[in-house]
Amino acid sequence: MLLLVGLGNPGAEYARNRHNIGFMVVEAIARRHGFSPWKKRFQGQTAEGAVGGEKVLALEPLTFMNLSGQSVGAALQFFKMKPEQVVVIHDELDLPPGKIRVKKGGGHGGHNGLRSIDAHIGKEYWRVRLGIGHPGDKNQVSNYVLHDFAKADQAWLEPLTDACTDAFPLLVQGQAENFMNKVTLAMPSMK
């Protein structure tokens, strides 16, 4: 079983924020792969499905970003899963828009959602870092991540979402490197 976690903030006012790219991609994966309807549990909402014969539970914590670990920890404990069975999809300021990196373990890099998850389940879970770019000034970071994607961002946001959705079975099969490569190759060249 795989626990697929998308990070974001709940509520319509946050739905298109840069910080919510994790929610956007997980929702696209659930739609494309025919997951069950979303239902509230584990201080979040979940949808279940199977990809490549493997059971996948998609989870969107509804605790707000800074408390995401409460929801992830509750689901992990309920299913008696190990952190290695968790994949967290989140926004990454330190990557250019549309870039992706996948790794297991590591630090939180100042990301409050990851910091909360680290505190609840440890650091040995998989992270899918989706680049949203940096505003250029650290004092603008909060404002930047809590604002909607610009129209110009659609040139890379939609292809990135589609590529992650198409390549997701590789991630389920434990082929993180192949997943990352397939997504990278599917992206339009950015000038």
pLDDT for the residue numbered 121:
97
pLDDT for the residue numbered 18:
96
pLDDT for the residue numbered 190:
61
pLDDT for the residue numbered 110:
84
pLDDT for the residue numbered 129:
97
Q: Domains (ranges, CATH) in the chain?
A: 2-172 (3.40.50.1470)
Per-residue exposure over 40-55, b if at least 16 CB sit within 10 Å of its own CB, e if not? eebbbbbbebebeeee
Catalytically annotated residue among 19, 33, 90, 111: 19
* 111 annotated active-site: no
**pLDDT beneath 50, residues of the chain:** 191
